[in-house]
């Protein structure tokens, strides 16, 4: 059941999915802008978190900047779905895992501090399940910052092309891991993170601001659990295109209202030839298909071989693993 939201809840969730205040008392600043006390902001966000509407308050990291990641899938026999999902979800580097409508039915994202870690995760899953694992690394993001208006499809800003991973300093991975796992919902969340890292709060805030300005952190704010908020008809759509066509059409697809993620991935030969991907998060299957039809019409994708994989179950949704010795919190 979706949590009941009033106008202030919606303002909190709609207005702070990105551009979270990078100051010692961010919730006081949010309260000032909404003309409510800091304690009410904290109370509402805690309630929404307990109700499952909020995954965390923190950051999403640009893939393959401070760490590594890949999209992967297995074709689990129906009678083994729960068993296989449990094996996959037990890996600390797996931060998202879903059952989708396809022969390749369990899809997950494997993350880690480097590519070797990701490959080790995939190898363990192959060994423990006995199943072939599709490994579909990211080639190019067109929009990877999942955020959208609660009352309908919106137009997202394009992904940054000028990401500067050269700003990374020793100790930044640990800060990013803390943001990926989630900040505590307390009056001074950055002070709490700084204490955990045994570093000064002003230094931690300065590094977060630098990482955000460089695009290494793709967004900082309230990370929603869209299913709990009524967005339950969610589809991953994939197209079989030559790489140069995927690169050309990707930015146009990302700009279609209702398309919430868009990226190019490396195919897996004839087994999985698809190169262009998008996610559509909708409140009904009919609404999702309408977005897909519009996207095909506006981008020239009509008639291009594709698959539509609606999500059936969510097994796991956490932040990414960035630091070598830490996993993302649930």
What is the residue-level pLDDT of the chain in tens, covering all 330 positions?
Answer: 456 678 899 889 888 888 899 999 999 999 999 999 999 999 999 999 998 889 899 998 887 777 889 999 999 999 999 999 999 999 999 999 999 999 999 999 999 999 999 999 999 999 999 999 999 999 998 875 555 555 554 444 444 556 777 888 999 999 999 998 899 999 999 999 999 999 999 999 999 999 999 888 888 999 888 776 767 889 999 999 999 999 999 999 999 998 988 999 999 999 999 999 999 998 899 999 999 999 999 999 999 999 999 999 999 988 888 876 544 433
Buried b / exposed e across 271-280, counting CB within 10 Å, b at 16+?
Answer: ebebbbbbbb
CATH 1.10.10.2890 fits 7-60+165-226, yes or no: yes
Residues whose CB falls within 8 Å of the CB of residue 259, separated by 6 or more in sequence, listed in order: 143, 156, 253, 278, 279, 280, 291, 295
pLDDT at residue 176, as a whole number: 93
pLDDT at residue 318, as a whole number: 85
Which secondary structure element, helix H or strand E, spans residue 98, and what is its range?
Answer: strand 94-100
> CB neighbours (10 Å) of residue 160?
15
Alpha-carbon dihedral 277, 52, 229, 48, rounded to 10 degrees: -130
pLDDT at residue 160, as a whole number: 52
Domain ranges of the chain: 7-60+165-226
Report the distance separating Cα 62 and Cα 217, nearest Å: 6
The whole-model pTM stands at: 0.82
> CB neighbours (10 Å) of residue 8?
14
């Amino acid at each position: 059941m979706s949590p009941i939201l009033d106008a202030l809840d919606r303002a909190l969730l709609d207005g702070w999915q990105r551009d979270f205040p990078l100051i010692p008392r961010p919730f006081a600043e949010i309260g000032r802008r909404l003309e409510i006390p800091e304690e009410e902001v904290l109370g509402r966000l805690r309630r929404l978190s307990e109700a499952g509407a909020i995954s965390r308050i923190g950051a999403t990291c640009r893939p393959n900047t401070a760490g590594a990641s890949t999209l992967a899938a297995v074709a689990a026999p129906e009678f083994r779905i729960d068993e296989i999902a449990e094996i996959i979800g037990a890996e600390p580097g797996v931060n998202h895992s879903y059952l989708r409508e396809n022969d390749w039915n369990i899809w997950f994202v494997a993350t880690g501090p480097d590519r070797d870690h990701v490959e080790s995760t995939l190898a363990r899953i192959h060994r423990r399940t006995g199943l072939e694992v599709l490994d579909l690394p990211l080639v190019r993001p067109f929009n990877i910052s999942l955020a959208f208006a609660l009352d309908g499809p919106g137009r997202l800003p394009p992904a940054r092309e000028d990401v500067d991973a050269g700003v990374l300093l020793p100790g930044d991975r640990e800060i990013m891991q803390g943001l990926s796992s989630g900040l505590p919902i307390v009056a001074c969340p950055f002070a709490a993170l700084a204490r955990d890292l045994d570093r000064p709060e002003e230094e931690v805030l300065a590094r977060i601001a630098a990482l955000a300005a460089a695009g290494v952190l793709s967004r900082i704010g309230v990370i929603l659990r869209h299913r709990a908020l009524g967005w339950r008809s969610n589809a991953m759509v994939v197209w079989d295109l030559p790489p140069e066509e995927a690169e050309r059409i990707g930015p146009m697809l990302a700009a279609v209202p209702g398309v919430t993620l868009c990226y190019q991935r490396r195919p897996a030969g004839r087994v999985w030839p698809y190169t262009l991907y998008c996610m559509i998060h909708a409140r009904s299957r009919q609404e999702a298909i309408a977005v897909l039809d519009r996207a095909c019409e506006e981008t020239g994708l009509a008639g291009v071989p594709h698959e539509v994989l609606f999500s059936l179950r969510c097994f796991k949704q956490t932040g990414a693993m960035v630091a070598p010795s830490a996993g993302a919190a649930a």
